[in-house]
Amino acid sequence: MRRVTLTQYLIEQQREHQRIPVNLRLQIEVVARAVKAISVNVGKGAIAGVLGEAGTDNVQGEAQKQLDVVANEILLLSNEWGGHLAAMASEEMPLPYAIPNRYPKGEYLLLFDPLDGSSNIDVNISVGTIFSVLRCPEGAEADERAFLQPGTQQVAAGYALYGPQTLLVLTVGDGVVGFTLDREFGTWVLTNPDMRIPEDTREYAINASNARFWDPAIRRYIGELVAGKEGPRGKDFNMRWVASMVADVHRLLTRGGIFMYPRDKRDPSKPGRLRLMYEANPMSMIVEQAGGAASTGYQRILDVQPEQLHQRIPVVLGSRNEVERVAQYYAEA
């Protein structure tokens, strides 16, 4: 069986299928190398002294873990010098990161959540990195306005999952593929050449502790799932919740499911909890490319026009028929 590496896969996408330009291929490879370095730090944990609080807050006012800071620095330093980027934006930073003047500037914009689910790191539960790539508008300054593009404009998106294996899941707009890091050789090996989400499912992921704050549409939907065989759906459902978006989404990519972080009434000033640019858009592109659907409950996530770099939105994504059912309940409500 032919062993296909990430580089081989990307070269085939570039040269044989003309799906991506060479600079995008090179940019994805840089991100993949940075992910390897993050994986090493995650794997060492307390041995490297990178667990625990960093003693600082990010732009959202959330306490940063030491690995949040380490992962963010790795991604910035790995990507600033290659000449493929005009700027970067991170969930951990209030403003875009300008490419230093000593380095050439490119045509792309990189966005990332350096360590998704970092609240789990101290208890050794899977965490990940989420990223996406946009084109910098021609003739535009690489400032915050350049990043405010709907998710439909993404040219690539992916995530890394740091678990029993380190995985890299990627789309360049033509399906979804998964790679496993061969730690012995330091190479990404194609292990999931065509990841597809079943249209129907019996698994759902939601933080049920927020049930008292949910909209009526979500209460109705979850109520039907909890009722099981005796309820209107006529079948039993299982709930799974890791509290790491990467881990929860990877599970539904592997065996189907629906992931929900809906709007709630805890804080009226926040229409949702997840970040549009760093989490919702990349994951929605991946899920749609795998045959699933992604919605706010009211509209397709990839059609949302961003208004702020750190904008939050509600997220419902996964198996198409279930996402469409939730959207139907919102419309009826």
**Annotated binding residues for Mg(2+):** 91, 113, 115-116, 279
- Binding-site annotation: residue ranges: 91, 113, 115-119, 207, 279
**At which residue do the structure tokens 């050449």 appear?**
193
Helix 320-332 to helix 216-227 angle, to the nearest 10 degrees?
130
- Per the CB < 8 A criterion, the answer to whether 204 and 195 are in contact is no
- Binding-site annotation: residue ranges for substrate: 116-119, 207
CA angle 255, 260, 264 (to 5 degrees): 170
Strand partners, 190: 179
- Per the CB < 8 A criterion, the answer to whether 25 and 10 are in contact is yes
> How far, rounded to the nearest angstrom, does the alpha carbon of residue 141 sit from its chain's CA centroid?
26
CA–CA distances in Å: residue 92 to residues 176, 278, 296: 27, 10, 23
Adjacency order of strands within the sheet including 258-261: 238-239, 203-205, 258-261, 315-318, 293-295
Task: Kindly state the tokens that stand for 74.
Answer: 């790795």
